[in-house]
């Protein structure tokens, strides 16, 4: 090789010719992030122009220093592939070998036509996926329940009792406070309107029907969905993050039998009791407010309550509690088992679980209202 000064002579490269007459580019100096400093755009442009020359030989053995930043600049100038003729030192060879194995950068998303329709379709497909997952999980729970009926000694009584305590006994305080305040507000606003027409005694009818049939079950279910449902999802999500679910799988312990079924049974038993408790406290708050507001005797209200509110409304409210409790537990476990092993997925899964549970509770209440509209309501012709 002989230098050809008439072709080029630069501070960071020399362009010479080989004995065969081919152009050879020898890089000199330091190709590091510090050495580039302000001249990086100019060097990148010149390298791109030189890489476009056909038949150019590259010699990096004459470089004084090369780091990964300089190797990345060269790699991009070469179009992310090695030139046909390239001379490297062993340590430089390792750098470019690692760049060859690096994953490519994600492509810039193109313009999506009919974006609202596309997003709506994506959400619909996601809804179908979650619905199919919940149906599959419910079917597995039914099969586990049938298996446990034939093998009573395998029933997880300890897990069921723990679920009853966490979702039932520990929720009595918050449900009592909210139910009492709702009863006071409802009684205060209603008694003011009834007093204008001299119909004060009908406050018992309104309180009894609204609390026992609708507000009691709805309040209890929404509070449990936000409190216990989120706790179930977070518990299963943390087990996924800490790989406890994988450990159960390795030991041959089914998730549905040990984790999902006890929660569904526990909440299915606990929520009707919470509904009964919440309705009783809400009625008490409403009657106390009625006595203070319009002087209606609590003894008289409790005496006429069984005659004004048929007992079918109480059974209807308890039935809502059973269905809502099992639905909340199923949704919470479904989202908990789908959480990925990272903290971001844990937060998103818990939020989705609570929102979906509350939506399902409202939907179940609407279905009960339509399906049992002729039960427990006296219509005077």
196 & 324 share domain: yes
158 & 54 share domain: no
50 & 150 share domain: no
Give the range of the structural domain holding residue 74, as residue numbers without chain letter.
8-101
Note whether residue 237 is domain-resident. Answer: yes
Note whether residue 187 is domain-resident. Answer: yes
Residue 105 binned pLDDT confidence (cut-offs 50, 70, 90): low
Give the pLDDT confidence score for residue 92 in this predicted structure: 83
User: Which of 101, 122, 154 lies at the terminal end of a domain, its last residue?
Assistant: 101
Residue 268 binned pLDDT confidence (cut-offs 50, 70, 90): very high
Determine whether 288 is exposed, middle or buried from the number of CB atoms within 10 Å of its CB (0-12, 13-18, 19+). middle
37 & 148 share domain: no
Mean pLDDT (the chain) is 85
The token pair at 204 is 């018992």
229 & 300 share domain: yes
Q: What is the pTM of this model?
A: 0.70
228 & 313 share domain: yes
Distances in Å between the alpha carbon of 181 and those of 128, 185, 364?
39, 6, 24
User: Which of 56, 78, 101 lies at the terminal end of a domain, its last residue?
Assistant: 101
User: Which of 101, 127, 159 lies at the terminal end of a domain, its last residue?
Assistant: 101
In this structure, the number of other CB atoms found within 10 A of the CB of residue 49 comes to 10
The token pair at 193 is 């309107």
Say yes or no to pLDDT of 45 above 50.
Answer: yes
Note whether residue 197 is domain-resident. Answer: yes
User: What's the domain count of the chain?
Assistant: 2
In this structure, the number of other CB atoms found within 10 A of the CB of residue 20 comes to 8
Q: Of 259, 266, 249, nearest to 140 (Cα)? A: 259
Note whether residue 178 is domain-resident. Answer: yes
Note whether residue 131 is domain-resident. Answer: no
If you average pLDDT over residues 208-235, what whole number do you get? 92
321 & 229 share domain: yes
Q: What percent of the chain has pLDDT over 90?
A: 39
Q: Which residue has the higher pLDDT, 381 or 158?
A: 158
151 & 91 share domain: no
Helix axes 172-196, 261-294, angle to 10 degrees: 40
CB of 36 closer than 8 Å to CB of 69: yes
Residue 108 binned pLDDT confidence (cut-offs 50, 70, 90): low
97 & 141 share domain: no
CB of 130 closer than 8 Å to CB of 235: no
18 & 91 share domain: yes
Note whether residue 208 is domain-resident. Answer: yes
Q: At 77, which CATH number?
A: 3.30.750
205 & 79 share domain: no
Note whether residue 124 is domain-resident. Answer: no
Largest CA distance in the chain: 116
CA–CA gap between residue 333 and residue 261 (Å, rounded): 9
201 & 305 share domain: yes
**Three-state DSSP state, 68:** helix
Give the pLDDT confidence score for residue 165 in this predicted structure: 93
**Three-state DSSP state, 252:** coil
**Three-state DSSP state, 123:** helix
CA–CA gap between residue 102 and residue 125 (Å, rounded): 33
In this structure, the number of other CB atoms found within 10 A of the CB of residue 234 comes to 19
Q: Which of the residue ranges 2-16, 61-75, 77-91, 331-345 would you say has the lowest mean pLDDT?
A: 2-16
Note whether residue 130 is domain-resident. Answer: no
């Amino acid at each position: 090789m002989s230098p050809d000064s008439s072709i080029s002579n630069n501070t960071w490269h020399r362009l010479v010719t080989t004995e065969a007459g081919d152009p050879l580019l020898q890089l000199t100096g330091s190709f590091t992030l510090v050495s580039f400093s302000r001249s990086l755009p100019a060097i990148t442009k010149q390298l791109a122009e030189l890489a476009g020359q056909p038949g150019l030989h590259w010699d990096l053995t004459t470089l004084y220093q090369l780091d990964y930043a300089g190797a990345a600049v060269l790699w991009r100038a070469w179009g992310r592939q090695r030139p046909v003729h390239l001379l490297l030192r062993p340590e430089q060879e390792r750098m470019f070998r690692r760049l060859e194995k690096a994953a490519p950068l994600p492509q810039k998303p193109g313009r999506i036509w009919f974006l609202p329709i596309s997003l709506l379709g994506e959400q619909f497909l996601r809804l179908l996926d979650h619905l199919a997952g919940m149906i599959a999980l419910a079917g597995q729970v039914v099969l586990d329940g049938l298996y446990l009926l034939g093998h009573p000694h395998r029933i997880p009584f300890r897990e069921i009792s723990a679920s009853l305590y966490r979702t039932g006994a520990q929720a009595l305080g918050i449900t009592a406070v909210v139910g009492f305040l709702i009863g006071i507000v409802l009684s205060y606003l209603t008694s003011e309107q009834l007093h204008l027409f001299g119909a004060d005694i009908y406050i018992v009818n309104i309180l009894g029907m609204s609390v026992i049939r609708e507000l009691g079950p709805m309040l209890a279910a929404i509070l449990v969905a936000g409190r216990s449902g989120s706790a179930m999802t977070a518990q299963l999500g943390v087990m996924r993050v800490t790989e406890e679910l994988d450990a159960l799988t390795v030991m041959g312990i089914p998730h549905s039998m040990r984790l999902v079924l006890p929660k569904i049974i526990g909440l299915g038993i606990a929520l009707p009791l919470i509904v009964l408790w919440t309705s009783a406290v809400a009625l008490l708050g409403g009657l106390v407010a009625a006595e203070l507001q319009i002087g209606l005797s609590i003894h008289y209200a409790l005496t006429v309550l069984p005659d004004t509110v048929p007992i079918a409304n109480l059974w209807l409210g308890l039935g809502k509690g059973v269905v809502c409790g099992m639905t909340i537990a199923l949704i919470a476990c479904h989202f908990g088992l789908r959480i990925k092993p990272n903290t971001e997925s844990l937060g998103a899964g818990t939020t989705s679980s609570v929102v979906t549970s509350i939506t399902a509770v409202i939907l179940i209440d609407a279905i009960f209202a339509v399906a049992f509209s002729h039960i427990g309501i006296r219509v005077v012709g």
